[in-house]
Amino acid sequence: MNLPSSGRRVLVSGASRGLGRALARAFAANGDRVAVHYGSREDEARATLDSLTGAGHVLVGGDISDPEGAASVAERAAEGLGGLDVLVNNAAVNTPHPPTTTSYEEWVRQWQSHLSVNLLGTANLSHLAAHRMIEQGTAGRIVNIGSRGAFKGEPDHPAYGATKAAVHALGQSLAVALAPHGIGVASVAPGFIETERVAHRLTDEVRAQSPFGRVASAEEIAEAVLWLASPAAQWSSGTVLDLNGASYLRT
């Protein structure tokens, strides 16, 4: 049940741009084959696919907020790659909904949207991938992209912070449940990352939150995820790894 260090079959959800693209590139550069998932940005996802080194990568579209959509994504990724060894749960919704200025109708809509993608989509893909790994009789890895906001608080994005906290808890429960099958589960909790999605929020004040005076690059986060998905990281199963440049410290 040894997990190879390369040549693995990897599904990255939400891989059309930003961190997802960096994750797909990191695994491909490692010699792995990647299923590039997208929800709605097909053209950008194809650009990600075209940028990957190596061969055997596949493109998989689908709505993971829907249970049937998640099942279709996992099935087509496994079919295209010939199985699954690694799942990276990166797809997420993060739109503002400050509690004091958001209407109740919009508040409900935002919470439903965040829950269905960030938590339920992650939970469903994890279940599907884990069962595929168990049926294969192989070891595997699941790495969840959480957030510093799960600990620090997200006053303008409370559903995002809450669902990411739930993702961390989900990962720890799965780590215990799946260890007997050789499947390690870990999460990362990044602070701000230099991506298109949050470029408008990256002010000097935000950069000053870290004593390094900057935010993370997507490639830095991807390198940490690559290690957590490696054979060497089995003893890190259950970990929530802070990746925030000392911008938020906890014990």
Backbone region of residue 195 per phi and psi (left: phi > 0; alpha: psi in -120 to 50; beta: other values): beta
Concerning whether 160 is annotated as a catalytic residue, the answer is yes
Choice among 160, 230, 237, 247 that is catalytic: 160
Choice among 164, 187, 237, 247 that is catalytic: 164
Q: C-alpha angle 24/26/27, rounded to 5°?
A: 70
Concerning whether 164 is annotated as a catalytic residue, the answer is yes
Query: Residue 91 and residue 11: Cα distance in Å, rounded?
Result: 11
Choice among 13, 147, 237, 247 that is catalytic: 147
Cβ-count burial 139-149 (b if 16+ within 10 Å, e if not): bbbbbbbbbbb
Closest C-alpha among 20, 179, 6 to residue 85: 6
Concerning whether 237 is annotated as a catalytic residue, the answer is no
Whether 83 and 74 have beta carbons less than 8 Å apart is answered as no
Whether 218 and 188 have beta carbons less than 8 Å apart is answered as no
Catalytic residues: 147, 160, 164
